[in-house]
Amino acid sequence: MRTRYWLVIIFSVIVLPTQAAQPGKAAIASAHYLATEAGHKILAKGGNAFDAAVAVSSVLAVVEQTSSGLGGGAFWMLHRASDGYDVMIDGREMAPAAAHKDMYLNTDGSVNRDLAVHGPLAAGIPGEVAGLDHIAVNYGNLPLAESLKPAIRIAREGFPVYTKFHRMLTYTQKFIRRWPAATKAFLPGGELPEVGQVIRLPDMARVLEKIAAEGRDGFYKGEIAQRLVDGVVAAGGIWSLEDLAGYVIKERAPIRTNYRGYELVTAPPPSSGGIAIAEILNILSPYQLETLGKVQRTHLVIEAMRRAYRDRALYLGDSDFYPVPIDMLTDMNYAAGLRAGIMFDQATPSDMIPGRDGLPEGTDTSHFSIIDREGNMVAATLTVNLPFGSSFMVPGTGFVLNNEMDDFSAKPGEPNAYGLIGFTANEIQPFKRPLSSMSPTLMLGKDRVAAIGTPGGGRIISMVLLGLLDFMEGNEPESWVSLPRYHHQFLPDKVSVEPEAFTAEEIAALEAMGHTVEVRNRTWGNMHGVMWHRQTGEVTAGSDPRQDAGKAIVR
């Protein structure tokens, strides 16, 4: 009897995987080292992953205005360890009340692209500040004011210009120069700052202090709101005080899908990301990808991407305004129908599949991933849309406004800045949220849990997908984030590939199957991921090596 007892114990220790109840350490990976450090500081003060998310988001809002900020929006995917609750906090920008579907059309019916992306008419009502307040109040351990402290200090003391910031500023300066407040903030003395030069944003520090003192009302009502509306209207925009006061955060039930024994928790509308990722994985699910050669496997993934991106263009928009067929698009039978049209050795030309689309790579937007020592997780993707958003800054505020209105379809079938087209599902309407590709995603399994995401416009979906497939193969965040990337978006009918992604022989083999392969001269994305191995308690993290300022820290 005694021997059997000991055998059971020895068997359990050696054979059965023990599960660490909580991660041994916390991990944060973000697009800027100051944001990652700020998140860890807040954890050290007794904050949880959600407080850290407020700190990371607000520091990124200061140091990475190329990509996100107080004048923009975000999706924060939260996982609460204590009860396993998952929710997406939708802080997406919203069309103002005076917006209408023809607001960017010239008298001849063509789209005025300048109005759609530059200046205050391009800006939706921002959601980021409401999101930070909502997360702190409903999910955090610490007051909002505590988690905003690092951002306030950095806005006041300044941060050094880094390579990516400099590159984006060089590209955007001609638009920034249209607006005196933005010029003063980012082009001190009217000159392009050098890498290493310190940028200080005292006006933004004051706005953040007001938010710290009054919560969301410090931004959406009172003095700051009045300043924003006056500034926007004086420069030709259509915001009102009612638009700001009426902005609401939406808690959205995530899209959930299963793949290879993992539950994926990902972004629902107004993002297109979660539905497209679920659709692609459903199409791929019967294939044993890991047993296939690289070319064969790439071919099948491309064919799945092609079909899901077609559906993105046709069916997706803000589901509060348009009946997005979520159940159909995420159904296994629907995927089986799409899979039936995939040939094992030949590309399907996109013009044999009804629908239209097209988009170049995006360099805007930001993503971070967090896991704390209790196992709470955040995957958050934040945006002002194009680099420095609309470039427009209201005097006395220190932050640029987004140009997220361009994520709507300004005219049926007319491409936006990413070459994306849309139809009724994504037409402009008052109070509607523009369709996004942002795909913050959690992977929940018995052995491993993880968070992943990236910026990159319409390419976000294909990047997150490739990262997920790499996770499924057992690889670490450092592998997901550095993996060479390829992308197919239905139309134009070609596979974009990063410079080192494939050998000449592999490209020739894909072309022989009928794929048009375009080797780009640059890379894309800025992915940040974290993972907890539940059996060992080990925590790992990875920050995309493609950009200079990102940092993953496990502590």
**Nearest distance in Å: CB 254, ligand GLY:** 17
Nearer to ligand GLY, 77 or 208 (CB): 77
Min CB(273)–ligand GLY separation in Å: 8
Q: What is the Cα–Cα distance from 207 to 213, expressed in whole angstroms?
A: 10
Tell me if 436 contacts ligand GLY by CB under 6 A: yes
Q: Is 376 in the site for ligand GLY (CB under 6 A)?
A: no
Q: Which one, 155 or 420, has the nearer CB to ligand GLY? A: 420
Stretch that binds ligand GLY, among 80-88, 181-189, 332-340, 435-443 (CB under 6 A): 435-443
> Which region, judged by CB under 6 A, interacts with ligand GLY, from 7-15, 94-102, 103-111, 433-441?
433-441
Binding string to ligand GLY for residues 533 to 552, with x set by CB under 6 A, is what?
--------------------
Burial of 291 (0-12, 13-18, 19+ CB in 10 A): exposed
User: CA–CA separation, 505 vs 521, rounded Å?
Assistant: 18
Instruction: Write the CB contacts of 306 (distance below 8 Å, at least 6 apart in sequence).
Output: 348, 350, 353, 488, 489, 490, 493
426 binds ligand GLY (CB under 6 A): no
* Window 382 to 411, contacts with ligand GLY (CB under 6 A): 383, 385, 404, 407
Q: Tell me whether residue 76 or residue 159 sits nearer to ligand GLY (CB atom).
A: 76
Structure tokens that stand for 241 in this block: 């005080």
Phi, psi of 230 (to 5 degrees): -60, -45
Return the H-helix or E-strand segment holding 250.
Answer: strand 250-252
- Of 235-243, 351-359, 436-444, 510-518: span binding ligand GLY (CB under 6 A): 436-444
| Closest to 360 (Cα-Cα) out of 449, 492, 244 | 492
Stretch that binds ligand GLY, among 159-167, 350-358, 434-442, 535-543 (CB under 6 A): 434-442
Q: How far is the CB of 351 from ligand GLY (least distance, A)?
A: 25
Asked if 365 interacts with ligand GLY (CB under 6 A), we say yes
Handedness of CA 188, 194, 197, 200 (dihedral sign): positive
Q: Is 526 in the site for ligand GLY (CB under 6 A)?
A: no
Q: Is 415 in the site for ligand GLY (CB under 6 A)?
A: no
CA distance 338 to 243: 42
Q: What is the 3-state secondary structure (H, E, C) of 204-249?
A: HHHHHHHHHHHCCHHHHCHHHHHHHHHHHHHCCCCCCHHHHHCCCC
Of the two residues 179 and 418, which places its CB atom closer to ligand GLY in the complex?
A: 418
Residue 146 CB, shortest distance to ligand GLY, in Å, is 29
Minimum CB distance to ligand GLY, residue 111 (Å): 17
CB of 31 to ligand GLY, least distance (A): 15
Binding mask 300-339 for ligand GLY (x = CB under 6 A): ----------------------------------------
85: alpha, beta or left? (left if phi > 0; alpha if psi -120 to 50): beta
490 versus 502: smaller Cβ distance to ligand GLY? 490
- As a whole number of angstroms, the distance between CA 55 and CA 79 comes to 17
**DSSP state at residue 453:** -
Measured CA distances, 322 to 116, 189, 210, 277 (Å)? 22, 48, 36, 20
Total residues contacting ligand GLY by CB under 6 A comes to 9
Nearer to ligand GLY, 129 or 208 (CB): 129
Does residue 365 carry a catalytic annotation?
Answer: yes
CB of 330 to ligand GLY, least distance (A): 19
* Selected range binding ligand GLY among 41-49, 291-299, 430-438, 446-454, rule: CB under 6 A: 430-438
Q: Which of 457, 467, 477, 525 binds ligand GLY (CB under 6 A)?
A: 457
Does position 438 interact with ligand GLY (CB under 6 A)? The reply is yes
Q: Cα–Cα distance between 122 and 427 in angstroms, integer?
A: 14
Minimum CB distance to ligand GLY smaller for 379 or for 438:
438
Q: What is the DSSP code (8-state) at residue 137?
A: H
Catalytic hit among 36, 257, 363, 365: 365
Q: How many residues does the chain have?
A: 555
Among residues 361, 330, 343, which one has the least CA distance to residue 499?
361
- CB closer to ligand GLY, 26 vs 464: 464
Smallest distance, Å, CB 160 to ligand GLY?
27
441 binds ligand GLY (CB under 6 A): no
- Please compute Rg for the chain using Cα positions: 23
Cα gap 187→89, rounded to integer Å: 34
Cα angle 374, 378, 381 (rounded to 5 degrees) comes to 170
> Cβ-count burial of 444 within 10 angstroms (0-12 exposed, 13-18 middle, 19+ buried)?
middle
Question: Based on CB atoms, which residue is closest to ligand GLY, 375 or 455?
Answer: 455
Tell me whether residue 30 or residue 147 sits nearer to ligand GLY (CB atom).
30
Beta bridge partners of 528: 543
Stretch that binds ligand GLY, among 128-136, 318-326, 432-440, 461-469 (CB under 6 A): 432-440
CB of 435 to ligand GLY, least distance (A): 8
By CB under 6 A, the residues from 69 to 88 that bind ligand GLY are: none
Of 543, 548, 312, residue with least CA distance to 437: 312
Q: What residue is closest to ligand GLY based on CB?
A: 436
Q: Does 30 bind ligand GLY (CB under 6 A)?
A: no
Element at 504 (helix H, strand E): helix 504-512
Q: Which residues are catalytic?
A: 365
- Report the interface residues with ligand GLY, using CB under 6 A: 365, 383, 385, 404, 407, 436-438, 457
